[in-house]
Structure 1
Amino acid sequence: MLDDFQYAKSEDNSTTFVAENSKLLRYKRWFKEAVEAQQKWRNVAREDREFYSGKQWADGDKKTLEDAKRPAITINRIKPLINVLSGYQRLNRYDIDFLPRTNDDDEQAQLRKGVTKYIMDRSHYNYEESDVFNDGVVTGIGWFEVGYKFDWLAQDGDAFIRRVSPFDIYADPESRDKHMRDMKYVIRARWVDKDELAAKYPQQADEINAQTAAYMTEETENDKKYNELWYSHETKKIRFAECWYKKAVQKQLFILKSGELVDQVTEDMIALGMILRQQTVTTTEIRMLAFFDNVVLEDIQSPYKHGFIPFVPFICYYQGEDDIPSGVVRDLKDPQREINKRRSQELHILNTQSNGGWISEEGAMSPQQEASFKRNASTPGALLKVNPGALSMQKLQRLEPQAPPSNIINASQEAMNEMPSISGINEALMGTDISNSQSGRAIELKQKQAITHIAGLFDNLRMAKELIVDMLWGKRGAPGIIPQFYTEQKTFRIVGENGEPQIVTVNQQVQQQQVNPQTGMIQTITKTLNDLSVGEFDIVIADTPATSTQRTAQFWSLVDACGKLGIQGNMIMDILIDLSDIPQKAEIKRRLKSQQEEQAQAQQQQMQAQMELEKQKRLSRSIAYKDLQLPLQLQLAAQAGILPQQYADAFLQWSIQQMAQSMGMGGMPNMGQQGGMPQQLPQMQPIAQQPTQQAAQSPLTQAAVNGLVEANKPVL
């Protein structure tokens, strides 16, 4: 193998030209540096994964115990703790929300939220996230890949989010950011079949075959060690590497008078004077180089315009500098080793002390009897024979075994008690070893203590999820995967704002007519409805987990609050249904809405009937005026605005004077001057039923007259 890595040995051991790419040496050096820098992490991470799986004894220690015929006990206390942590993550998945920056973008924000959830559901994101989370808590780091794949047979493509094995990723060892946002490159190296790689890159098939043949003829130990990076003699597979890296480039940008920033201009824009100025800026470009040892397979600019390396890490514990990622398992291995070794020692002591041995005088047993004692002395039901008189003369004496040391048992218990305190996952979170005497409040406080201990893990997971959504949507001037590739009309079945399924069509082209403000002519324009490439939004990860357990807790909290505040259930019944996990929510809400509309209609009809009844009552009261004397009828008519008041007063005064004259009472005071009825007035009857002079001798008091008037007033 030559030093410049541009040539390889062929089958006849001759030097063959493979590739001439001056940049290849740099990327291979990057790969070698990343391999060496991460070798320590890979060694301990593989051991972490083995401890989680139950392989917790070193090969040398286990062989030593087997040779001594001693047990190698494995009491896996790590797996239940990790399973509880993983289960907690599955029950507390956080939802994504889009906050509009203007009031006009609210509807677009809801659309983007629905489209994002659709893409994540198509990618089985929840399961991928749980697998990456498990990688992180076990080995220290997990990786997502975010991209777009086009299916030529279906003539359609979809964005995807999937887990990548952390042992396939080699990140920039110079990265210092806690979330590795400053990494300059990421190399994904996978073991693939030679024929598979040649089929994917048919133009480089000869070079792939020649390079693979060179690994069979290595002559020195250095060659063999180097070739292990690229060729596996056990599986006969080769290593295919993709290097995604950042490159600084000079770029010409044009600022238009409208404030828009573009990188290309047309002759029409120049002729119309639309360009304000030209600016040269330094930007970061993402590129991808695919290679196999000395063979360059592909060297292209990144197909994604969002400006990110399409790999997102989830890191459990990492300081960012002079440190390697670690998971929850890392600190539990020593207590786990102590538990296993002490339990093995306890079992060995019990096995050896179950037969305390014998003391025998010479001649008490024959050689055959001694061999039988050695074999069967501790066997249940064994029948052992000795020489006559050996027992009666006490020539045999049994050695009673001592009790196992209590400090060994106590040390094992201490090691088991240390594991929850180290991991932060206590018994309250696991739901075990809870005393019946403990109050619910005390248990809740212990659970919150455990959740506080592991809160940092979920913050890191939320950060990874936010970076994923940034790649899906991008930012101004750097569109994400969705705006870049989802440009044609497409119909999605998304979850609406109220939780109900909703069918929406994005990028729908419609023709509309409008008046040109300059010419006044009607013109036809094409408008895009639900355009996924417009609008600016702030992406946040919701604080409330979008899981059935949390929704149930919120449901009962709201029910309890309604009971304490006296809020009627029908006012928020639709919200309660959305928080619940009952089936057929849409049908229940539809029936509830129909019932509420019927009740509202019935209440409206009842109100109208009540108003009609009141009207009839008023009319009934007003009908009583026909039984009054004509002057009072005119007074009531005047109060209702039917007759002028002065006419009614004049007729009343005249009627009183006429009645007084007929009764021989002389002149009466003027009503208009005194403003009231006289002190004494005989009862008046309707004109058609005027009493005779003899029947009207009992005068009415002023209070009686006023009472008569008030009782017969109509309500108008």
Structure 2
Amino acid sequence: MTMTSTTLTSIGDEAARENWDRYQYAKDRGHLDYLPHAARCEDMYMGGGRQWTPEARAQLAQERRPCYEFNEIKPSINAAIGYQIHNRMDIAFKPRGGDADLNRATILSKVAMQVVDMCNLHWHETQVFSDGVIQQRGYFDVRVSFDNNIQGDIVVSDLDPMDVIPDPDAKSYDPDKWGDVLITRWLTLDEIAQLYGPKASKTAKESNDAGRDFGDMDDEHERSKFASRDSMGHFDACLKKEDGLERYRIIDRQRFVYEPTRCIVWPATGDVRAEPDMAQDSIADALAQGAVRAKRMRRRVKWTVTTLTATLFDGYSPYEHFTVVPYFAYFRRGKTGGMVDDAMGPQEALNKAVSQYVHVVNTAANSGWIVEEGSLTNMTMDELERIGARTGLVVEYKKGSAAPRKIEPNQVPTGVDRIIDRADKALKDVTVPEAMRGQQGPETSGVAIQAKQFASQQQLAVPLDNLAYTRRLLAKRILKLIQTYYDSHRIFRITETDPLTGKQVESALEINKFDPASGGYLNDVTIGTYDVVVTEQPMQVTFQNSQFQQALEMRKAGISIPDQQVIRYSNLADKHDILASMQSNQPQQDPTVEARVRLLDAQARKADVQATDVQVKSQYSAIQTAQVIAQTPQTAVLADGLLRSAGAVDHDAAPIVPQPGQGTPAVELPHNTDPLTPASPARGVNEGIETLAADGLQS
């Protein structure tokens, strides 16, 4: 059975025919054009002789001309990939609705970061980002695996972009707006059994759909693998169906369908979940807590896996989204692009110009000879042709004959060197400028280099912004899987850094733990809706190096940063032991230091007392003055003039001293001056006795 057919009428079952027809349609609508271009971009990045096509290399070999390769694409792309490598994704959640709260959001964030670490997401993201900037497209695959945990573990992997066929009629970045997505691979029977079960493996074997392990038979480009197409010796082994060589073309299709679905609805919060996607105990708990069953129109994912003629699986997906999450370095309404696309032209021009330049230089060494027939005596014409460019060559010719004359070599065509410079500049303009790589002369300061690097990152703004969008899509799917499949009691070992000691502290985080006292679940992460917050943080080593350098610069500037803080930001292998030793072996303080501290404290208290004394004396003088003015209002004008002359400043409204009629009303002085009949009894009683009185008043 061959796989060259593009339409099937009577072969296989209905699901297999539908899957194969959809695969052919999607392949003919752009995937066949994408495959050779993606392979060409890969070759241009990898270099090592791959930048010249086999046809061009054969032509140059026939013309005995060199084909040199100056790979400027790889260092430029590596600079962009290096930025991604040194900045990892940090996932956090914030409560948005339902029973969500900040405590559950914090727990969800810790669980998500635990999942990310267990999946080695950073390395998978590097591969996906590399696929995007090199081959236009990169893809994550997010699903739940039950291989190592019967409760299920979230796993994230990367897919070969040449194996993934997005909906050819879609034009959105978000796969939720695609109609379907196909993943096509060549798998052995053992791999089919591992992925889809023993029954699927048996069905595939009975279909007799095995074929060669690269897509030649169905018009596709050679798939990515360690072997090369030139290794044709496996054909005989493939025909003998030896173990490990018989492979089956698998069409893995996920598509959206919209149909009535049994749902669980929480009236209090309005949350709705498809009942087939929930475990039986989760359904029972939801109903016990007041949720109700309802049937609603709902979009679900239909999953079909087939070979050419046999259906291996056809049912509903356990996930609400496609397992595929894309990354496109450049995206414009269904059109994708990478950083290598625009660099291929300048790179080819650079290779051709350099090869031409070297060819001209090589021909200058042995441009040829003009020799009179039969004039050579110490060699033949063939020998002169062969060794004519050798250093120290001696040519003897007959007397009377014309002397052999060397042909003048061709000059390097004008402008070839300018083409080389122009192509080299164009390569950096369309990929990553030199400033981002830090390639500056020794006369350039480090601050200036960093400023240029920051400015040059604007050229990566679009690929990095698309990466942030992909990270958000990925985080939302991880959140959905946590709330769906992490619905039983689990214990996570969380390792955090103690902010005081800097040591790694391990703690246990329990989720969905039943509390008999309340009848509910502690740290229930399955309820509530949350918004995703994805931030970017430098890798630990890079971040610590930056913090360490900043701490040193601040100490040089005179800022007192403790020694413990500087050591904490260092990369010493035993820095935690050093910190513990410094804290346990604190040196005794110098007694003179404590004495100086007490002296300064006493001086400060003495200054406070003196200031208070001056304030009290000033207030006393002011009171005495007020009494005089109250007794004799006419002195107010004189007092005001004296104060202004002394430079006094009124903190209220002018004048400084209240004038008659503006402040305290004047006191009527007694007019009776007869000592036998005083103005008041108290005045007479105290006459002649030294008592406290207003200093400025006269009796």
Spell out, residue by residue over 1:152-171, the C-alpha distance to the aligned partner (whole angstroms, 9 max, x if none).
6x656421111111111111
CA distance in 1: counterparts of 2:24 and 2:408, whole angstroms: 64
Spell out, residue by residue over 1:494-542, the C-alpha distance to the aligned partner (whole angstroms, 9 max, x if none).
3368584331231364655xxxxxxxxxxx4444333332454332122
CA distance in 2: counterparts of 1:410 and 1:4, whole angstroms: 54
Match of 1:93, SS state, is strand
Quote the RMSD (CA, aligned, Å).
4.6
| 8 Å contact from structure 1 (residues 242, 289) kept in 2 | yes
Cα distance change, pair 65–449 in 1 and its aligned pair in 2 (3 A): same
* 2:523 alignment partner, one of 499, 512, 530: 530
Give the corresponding residue for 2:318. 303
* 2:511 alignment partner, one of 507, 510, 534: 507
Spell out, residue by residue over 1:168-211, the C-alpha distance to the aligned partner (whole angstroms, 9 max, x if none).
11111111113444112111111112464367544355642343
Question: What is the Cα deviation at residue 100 of structure 1?
Answer: 4.2
Question: What is the Cα deviation at residue 24 of structure 1?
Answer: 4.0
Q: What amino acid sits opposite 1:123 in the alignment?
A: C
Cα distance change, pair 403–6 in 1 and its aligned pair in 2 (3 A): closer
CA distance in 2: counterparts of 1:466 and 1:378, whole angstroms: 66
1:457 and 2:470 equivalent? no
CA distance in 1: counterparts of 2:67 and 2:387, whole angstroms: 24
Q: Which moved more, 1:126-135 or 1:244-253?
A: 244-253
CA distance in 2: counterparts of 1:274 and 1:119, whole angstroms: 31
Give the corresponding residue for 1:623. none
Give the corresponding residue for 1:69. 64
Give the corresponding residue for 2:204. 208
CA distance in 1: counterparts of 2:305 and 2:18, whole angstroms: 13
Give the corresponding residue for 1:493. 494
1:318 and 2:313 equivalent? no
Give the corresponding residue for 1:115. 111
* 2:35 alignment partner, one of 37, 42, 59: 42
Give the corresponding residue for 2:450. 444
Question: What is the Cα deviation at residue 404 of structure 1?
Answer: 2.4
CA distance in 1: counterparts of 2:79 and 2:219, whole angstroms: 42
Q: What is the percent sequence identity of the aligned residues?
A: 23
Q: What amino acid sits opposite 1:461 in the alignment?
A: L
The normalised TM-score by structure 1 is 0.68
1:86 and 2:78 equivalent? no
**Which residues in structure 2 correspond to 1:391-410 (within 5 Å)?**
394-410=402-418
Question: What is the Cα deviation at residue 449 of structure 1?
Answer: 2.7
| 8 Å contact from structure 1 (residues 208, 295) kept in 2 | yes
Question: What is the Cα deviation at residue 377 of structure 1?
Answer: 0.7
1:247 and 2:260 equivalent? no
Give the corresponding residue for 2:125. 129
CA distance in 1: counterparts of 2:116 and 2:291, whole angstroms: 41
Match of 1:429, SS state, is helix
| 8 Å contact from structure 2 (residues 131, 161) kept in 1 | yes
Match of 1:57, SS state, is coil
CA distance in 1: counterparts of 2:6 and 2:127, whole angstroms: 41
Greater relative contact order: 1 or 2 (C-alpha under 8 angstroms, separation 6 or more)?
A: 2
CA distance in 2: counterparts of 1:104 and 1:563, whole angstroms: 48
Give the corresponding residue for 1:430. 437
Question: What is the Cα deviation at residue 379 of structure 1?
Answer: 2.2
**Which residues in structure 2 correspond to 1:574-613 (within 5 Å)?**
581-583=571-573
Give the corresponding residue for 1:30. 22
CA distance in 1: counterparts of 2:380 and 2:365, whole angstroms: 20
* 1:352 alignment partner, one of 363, 369, 385: 363
Question: How many equivalent pairs are there?
Answer: 571
Match of 2:68, SS state, is coil
Match of 1:287, SS state, is strand
| 8 Å contact from structure 2 (residues 211, 249) kept in 1 | no
* 1:283 alignment partner, one of 279, 294, 298: 298
Spell out, residue by residue over 1:673-703, the C-alpha distance to the aligned partner (whole angstroms, 9 max, x if none).
96679xxxxxxxxxxxxxxxxxxxxxxxxxx
Q: What amino acid sits opposite 2:420 in the alignment?
A: S
| 8 Å contact from structure 1 (residues 115, 492) kept in 2 | no
* 2:341 alignment partner, one of 324, 330, 339: 330
State which structure, 1 or 2, has the greater radius of gyration over its C-alpha atoms: 1
Question: What is the Cα deviation at residue 592 of structure 1?
Answer: 7.7
Question: What is the Cα deviation at residue 438 of structure 1?
Answer: 3.5
Give the corresponding residue for 1:473. 479
Question: What is the Cα deviation at residue 240 of structure 1?
Answer: 1.4
Question: What is the Cα deviation at residue 333 of structure 1?
Answer: 0.8
CA distance in 2: counterparts of 1:404 and 1:227, whole angstroms: 43
Match of 2:177, SS state, is coil
Q: What amino acid sits opposite 1:344 in the alignment?
A: S
Q: What amino acid sits opposite 2:41 in the alignment?
A: D
Q: What amino acid sits opposite 1:374 in the alignment?
A: E
| 8 Å contact from structure 2 (residues 203, 312) kept in 1 | no
Spell out, residue by residue over 1:389-437, the C-alpha distance to the aligned partner (whole angstroms, 9 max, x if none).
54xxx433333435423421221122112111121x12221222x2334
Spell out, residue by residue over 1:591-622, the C-alpha distance to the aligned partner (whole angstroms, 9 max, x if none).
788899x999x99xx99x99xx99xxxxxxxx
Cα distance change, pair 416–360 in 1 and its aligned pair in 2 (3 A): same
Q: What amino acid sits opposite 2:331 in the alignment?
A: Y
The normalised TM-score by structure 2 is 0.70
| 8 Å contact from structure 1 (residues 169, 187) kept in 2 | yes
Question: What is the Cα deviation at residue 60 of structure 1?
Answer: 1.4
Question: What is the Cα deviation at residue 544 of structure 1?
Answer: 4.5
Question: What is the Cα deviation at residue 32 of structure 1?
Answer: 1.5
Q: What amino acid sits opposite 2:435 in the alignment?
A: A
Spell out, residue by residue over 1:35-89, the C-alpha distance to the aligned partner (whole angstroms, 9 max, x if none).
1222211111100001111101121111111112211111111111112221121
Question: What is the Cα deviation at residue 256 of structure 1?
Answer: 6.2
| 8 Å contact from structure 2 (residues 35, 220) kept in 1 | no
Match of 1:38, SS state, is helix
| 8 Å contact from structure 1 (residues 92, 550) kept in 2 | no
CA distance in 1: counterparts of 2:284 and 2:46, whole angstroms: 67
Give the corresponding residue for 2:648. none
Cα distance change, pair 354–283 in 1 and its aligned pair in 2 (3 A): same
**Which residues in structure 2 correspond to 1:669-688 (within 5 Å)?**
none
Q: What amino acid sits opposite 1:447 in the alignment?
A: Q
Spell out, residue by residue over 1:314-341, the C-alpha distance to the aligned partner (whole angstroms, 9 max, x if none).
11112123x2x22111111111111111
Cα distance change, pair 210–383 in 1 and its aligned pair in 2 (3 A): farther
CA distance in 2: counterparts of 1:497 and 1:577, whole angstroms: 15
CA distance in 1: counterparts of 2:288 and 2:79, whole angstroms: 67
Question: What is the Cα deviation at residue 365 of structure 1?
Answer: 2.6
Question: What is the Cα deviation at residue 142 of structure 1?
Answer: 0.7
Q: What amino acid sits opposite 1:312 in the alignment?
A: V
Question: What is the Cα deviation at residue 473 of structure 1?
Answer: 1.2
Match of 2:488, SS state, is coil
Gaps of 5+ in 1: 9-17, 217-222, 475-479, 513-523, 615-668, 678-716
| 8 Å contact from structure 2 (residues 370, 407) kept in 1 | yes
| 8 Å contact from structure 1 (residues 315, 460) kept in 2 | yes
**Which residues in structure 2 correspond to 1:53-68 (within 5 Å)?**
53-54=46-47, 55-68=50-63
Match of 2:415, SS state, is helix
| 8 Å contact from structure 1 (residues 253, 261) kept in 2 | no
Q: What amino acid sits opposite 2:161 in the alignment?
A: P
